[in-house]
Copies of this chain bind each other. A is one copy, B any other.
Amino acid sequence: MITLSSDFGTPYPAAMKGVLCRHSDTRLVDIAHDFPRQDIRTTAFWLREVLPYFPPAVHLVVVDPGVGTDRAAIAVRAGDHALVGPDNGVLLPVARELGDREIFEIEYEDANSSTFHGRDVFAPAAARIHETGVDSMETLPDIEPTGEFEALRFPEPTIRESAAAGEILVVDDFGNAITNVPGGFLDAVDEIEVNGTSAPVEPSYAHVALDRQLVTVGSHGNVELAVNQGRGDDAFGVAVGDEIRLEK
């Protein structure tokens, strides 16, 4: 199985699918092609949330603000999975979830201005790794182990017994504002102050009335600022990157 993730919108992903289909009969699964443009951190967050639910697969990821510079192309073996994409950190957080990881550089011919890296570099590499097998990808002539790569870590919150200082990591399609504070901080708490304003802590959206604010633990396991059938980001007045302070 090969999964595809990008910020390409449409129809560029189809060219990558064509290349993959040329090289392999394996199942193709789209993760998303509307990740926020050139947003490495948000994409890395979602990959970490979603890819661990898949059986062993090769995951092709092209969110690549550095395309056209000398940034490397890499493949990461993580557990039974392989991840293929640009060396900008986007593959790293999910790799830590998938298992022990080894990082390889993918060599490619000097690109010219009409090179479409997703189609001409990353998709062929993902197909060859899939066909060779994740376990033996280093037998491919253009793949070499490397110790140099871009790291990416999400910001760590500061957690004290009665207060936590964190950050809005991501706002999802529903408008839920997902923080970096682990859900355990809300254990046995009924009400919490978010940046000075009180809100109820509830197990799910439907536990408050329509359009009312709540603080909950999302399916990712983190504290989330939400509104029942509405947008939490608007109601709490927060956006990606904003600091949040939670007080019990």
A positions within 8 Å CB-CB of B: 1, 3, 5, 8-12, 14-15, 17-19, 21-22, 25, 27-32, 34-35, 37-38, 46, 49-55, 57, 65-69, 111-116, 119-120, 172-174, 183, 202-207, 216-221, 229
Tell me whether A31 and B50 are in contact (CB under 8 A). no
Which of B31, B49, B206 contacts A65 (CB under 8 A)?
Answer: B206
Residues of chain B within 8 A of A172, CB atoms compared: 12
Residues of chain B within 8 A of A34, CB atoms compared: 10
Tell me whether B38 and A29 are in contact (CB under 8 A). no
Given pairs A17-B54, A18-B50, A114-B221, 12 additional interface contacts (CB within 8 A): A1-B21, A3-B14, A8-B173, A10-B32, A14-B30, A14-B32, A15-B50, A66-B206, A67-B206, A68-B203, A114-B220, A119-B219
Tell me whether B203 and A113 are in contact (CB under 8 A). yes
* Oligomeric state, in copies: 3
**Which residue in chain B gives the minimum CB-CB distance to A54?**
B18
**Which residue in chain B gives the minimum CB-CB distance to A205?**
B68
Q: Quick one: which of A8, A114, A217, A229 has the most chain B CB within 10 A?
A: A114
User: In the complex, how many angstroms separate the beta carbon of A53 from the nearest chain B beta carbon?
Assistant: 3
Provide a sorted-by-A list of 26 A–B residue pairs whose CB atoms are within 8 angstroms.
A1-B21, A3-B14, A8-B173, A10-B32, A11-B31, A14-B29, A14-B31, A18-B53, A21-B27, A22-B53, A22-B55, A28-B29, A53-B119, A65-B206, A65-B229, A67-B205, A67-B206, A68-B203, A68-B204, A69-B204, A111-B203, A111-B204, A113-B183, A113-B203, A113-B204, A120-B219
